[in-house]
Amino acid sequence: MASRFPRSNLHQRDPRASSSLFDSYGGGSRSGSKSPGHIGGGYGGYGEGYMNGGSAGGSNYRTATPDKRGHYSDAVLSSLESQNDAEVEGISAKVKMLKELTVAIGDEIRESSALAEKMNDSFEASRVRLRGTMNRMLRMAERTGVGWRVWLCFFLAVFLLFAYVWLT
């Protein structure tokens, strides 16, 4: 059966889901505790130079660590900005797909509601016609003086005749 909706991969996991925030970080990985501790002789990722009064612009700093004034390097900021832009593009694409999906669902609901309303009107018209036909048939049966059981047997015989002709 053909689907009215285009093939979608919303059910699949985004391969970019793993964060690449610190992919470019070249510092050594810490083993054990994840808390900021005594790393490389300094505190919180700062090298010995900071603890011993070294210069802020020295090579003792990690690239993702701010200097003593709280400023990050331009390379780190541009790297983070480009990663943010990539994530925003991915999220925007997902939002666009979700919007298209919800619009398609809304269209389907409107079509289904219109069809259900149309069917309800048709069934109501059929019910009114059937009631009128049944009332006319009962009046006709009363006028002829023949009971309803005789009419029921007559219609049953006609139905069986049609069924016999149809099956053979």
- Is residue 46's pLDDT more than 70? no
What are the backbone dihedrals phi and psi of residue 119, each rounded to the nearest 5 degrees, phi first? -65, -40
Take residue 165 and report the two structure tokens written for it: 């002709």
More confident residue, 3 or 89: 89
Kindly state the percentage of the chain with pLDDT values over 90: 39
User: CB–CB of 66/80 below 8 Å?
Assistant: no
- The amino acid sitting at 96 is K
Out of 19-23, 25-29, 58-62, 107-111, pick the least confident: 58-62
pLDDT digits (tens, 9 = 90+) for 73-87: 888 888 889 899 999
Q: Give me the pLDDT at residue 78, please.
A: 87
Q: Give me the pLDDT at residue 23, please.
A: 57
Take residue 81 and report the two structure tokens written for it: 């900005």
pLDDT digits (tens, 9 = 90+) for 21-42: 555 555 554 444 444 444 444 4
Q: Give me the pLDDT at residue 149, please.
A: 84
Report the alpha-carbon distance of residue 60 to residue 42 in Å, rounded.
10
Rounded average pLDDT over 62-68? 69
DSSP per-residue letters across 75-111? HHHHHHHHHHHHHHHHHHHHHHHHHHHHHHHHHHHHH
- Is residue 122's pLDDT more than 50? yes
- Is residue 136's pLDDT more than 80? yes
- Is residue 144's pLDDT more than 90? no
